[in-house]
């Protein structure tokens, strides 16, 4: 009888401990998201933010905008600037790239992802090689719609994806 009670209390304690660890991990992951003030637009898919007097470089997850020297590069930067400049955005980090930039999904004040806005306006490609989250399929649909409507860079017959352009301009 005493052994049965000890076993019950031990099992109950382990269940509570396991639940606590699971909740702790979930909160840690969720706490990685933060809000920050946009300070500088570097190009269409890269910008800096300031949070608690610390400057960070943010690279958009899953999309690639034309480079500045590439056709539509300046327009992509201007589109990002119009959506971001001086605003507070939500940053949902996904990774850190080889340059130390935070790769993130960026949320605008209305809750939409910046990536979605750039893709649907024709100023970004969904970067299939890196875009692996379920939301990428939605962005691909937006890209197809922008392409059919010949928005932004899709007004050109054969726009060159930035990853191909960079490979030829090293």
Q: Catalytic site residues?
A: 59, 67, 101
Using CA of residue 82, residue 170, residue 63, residue 144, what is the dihedral sign?
positive
CB 70 within 8 A of CB 165: yes
CA 169 vs CA 24, 67, 101, 166: distances in Å = 47, 11, 22, 5
Closest C-alpha among 43, 83, 97 to residue 66: 43
CB 39 within 8 A of CB 55: yes
Q: What is the CA radius of gyration of the chain?
A: 21
């Amino acid at each position: 009888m005493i052994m049965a009670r000890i076993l019950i209390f031990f099992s109950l304690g382990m269940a509570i401990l396991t639940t606590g660890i699971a909740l702790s991990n979930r909160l840690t992951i969720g706490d990685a998201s933060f809000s920050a003030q946009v300070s500088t637009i570097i190009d269409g898919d890269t910008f800096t933010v300031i949070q608690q007097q610390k400057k960070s470089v943010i690279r958009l997850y899953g999309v690639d905008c034309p480079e500045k020297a590439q056709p539509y590069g300046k327009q992509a930067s201007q589109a990002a600037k119009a959506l971001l400049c001086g605003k507070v955005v939500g940053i949902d980090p996904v990774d850190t790239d080889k340059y130390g930039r935070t790769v993130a999904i960026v949320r605008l004040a209305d809750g939409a992802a910046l990536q979605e806005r750039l893709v649907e306006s024709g100023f970004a490609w969904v970067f299939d090689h890196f875009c692996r989250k379920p939301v990428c399929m939605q962005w691909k649909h937006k890209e197809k719609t922008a392409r059919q409507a010949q928005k932004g860079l899709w007004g050109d017959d054969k726009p060159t994806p930035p990853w191909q352009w960079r490979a030829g301009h090293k």
